[in-house]
Structure 1
């Protein structure tokens, strides 16, 4: 069965909107795990717009499944990752003006830099995933720089306005996942997945894990977080 990792950033976004202490993403992560999630994802951004250093430190102490730290390849965040030692990190592109991560990392255009970061993480025993578009050039570059995982960006598939375009984008995801798998990379996927479009991606045998956040948190407003997690898990096929 493909596993489900839940991004709890949006819990922190709601908290930061009021500048108070609630809701707590650390508590949310615990509820997600109790409901059956197999991993927790947080993005510690350079501008700290949602997840804070405190959150990551507490999550490292409390997450019982797997803690995946999304991050840009900046020296400050690299140092924090090396200190906290999450179960894995996912390197993503990061722009200050974006609402959320807008696209995949240009691995092919910064091989030397990423290879150095991966080498530092490897010495600390931290596997590295690279968040990339479903593109052969980026997959080959990810393999060349020594990544353990790639996370295929599913945003264009999720945002497709027509069925034809959605099918085209799904084919790109499926092909990219197969290419990465054949190179020996472990394959995850995420971005924009929801209760209507996840099942198709989850059925791909090359994908180990889906990272989903916004859809589950939005659903949780109406049915509660525990139920929202269980509903998403019910969409994932057994293998």
Structure 2
């Protein structure tokens, strides 16, 4: 199997900074450390309420980052305009509710096909690689393929919270089915050193995006070591064969 890419989400470095105000800790510095530690990309979610990542952070990431930036965004005109100005490598459209603590559930690509179509079209016309954060469900894979997106990111939260065979089977089935439709398959949410191996072993997966756990572990062992340890846990789950 091919090497699985690791995208490091730096949102919660900004969460800590914003809890007190000021400039420290700096999420852009975190992105640089993750780069040095072997990350393959950086993810940042610019939320409507700017609870963690800010517009200034995106400005600096686009100017200073040497890895591809994956901008997580809601399907709103404000976020579309920001994406079109910055033109990150990728934009992952996610569901967003102001009152939620973190992203809850996947995007209903099937039910929101008509409203998502213009967003996907504008982003793709700008040369931005579009992905949808969706539940591991065949109906959502089919909807993503109809929308013409090249990538889906499977929501691993239910698996991470339950760690049961049923949720793992859902991930395996969706990854196989989506890849058969021509989609590149990514995954993320709630993954840890302990549960990432079985997800990494799913052969159709190309990339995992992991943030909260890595930032939490960084408090104890440092960000660079936390990124390297996650990389090692992923590689243990998927030995590279070529």
Sort the TM-score into its range (normalised by shorter chain): over 0.9
Note the residue ranges of structure 2 that are not aligned, 5 or more in a row.
none
Select which of 78, 89, 92 maps to 1:90.
92
1:202-221 mapped onto 2 (5 Å cutoff): 202-221=200-219
The aligned length equals 235
CA distance in structure 2 between the aligned counterparts of 1:125 and 1:83, rounded to whole angstroms? 12
Find out whether 1:198 has 2:222 as its counterpart.
no
1:105-184 mapped onto 2 (5 Å cutoff): 105-160=107-162, 166-184=164-182
TM-score relative to the length of structure 1: 0.97
Select which of 45, 51, 71 maps to 2:73.
71
TM-score relative to the length of structure 2: 0.96
CA distance in structure 1 between the aligned counterparts of 2:182 and 2:112, rounded to whole angstroms? 21
1:168-219 per-position Cα deviation (integer Å, ceiling 9, x unaligned):
0000001000111000000000000011000110111100000000110111
1:15-54 mapped onto 2 (5 Å cutoff): 15-54=17-56
Q: Note the C-alpha offset of 1:125.
A: 0.3
CA RMSD between the two structures: 0.8
Note the residue ranges of structure 1 that are not aligned, 5 or more in a row.
none
Q: Note the C-alpha offset of 1:20.
A: 1.2
Find out whether 1:224 has 2:217 as its counterpart.
no
Q: Note the C-alpha offset of 1:108.
A: 0.7
Q: Note the C-alpha offset of 1:231.
A: 0.5
CA distance in structure 2 between the aligned counterparts of 1:90 and 1:147, rounded to whole angstroms? 10
Find out whether 1:188 has 2:186 as its counterpart.
yes
Partner SS, residue 233 of structure 2: coil
CA distance in structure 1 between the aligned counterparts of 2:19 and 2:27, rounded to whole angstroms? 14
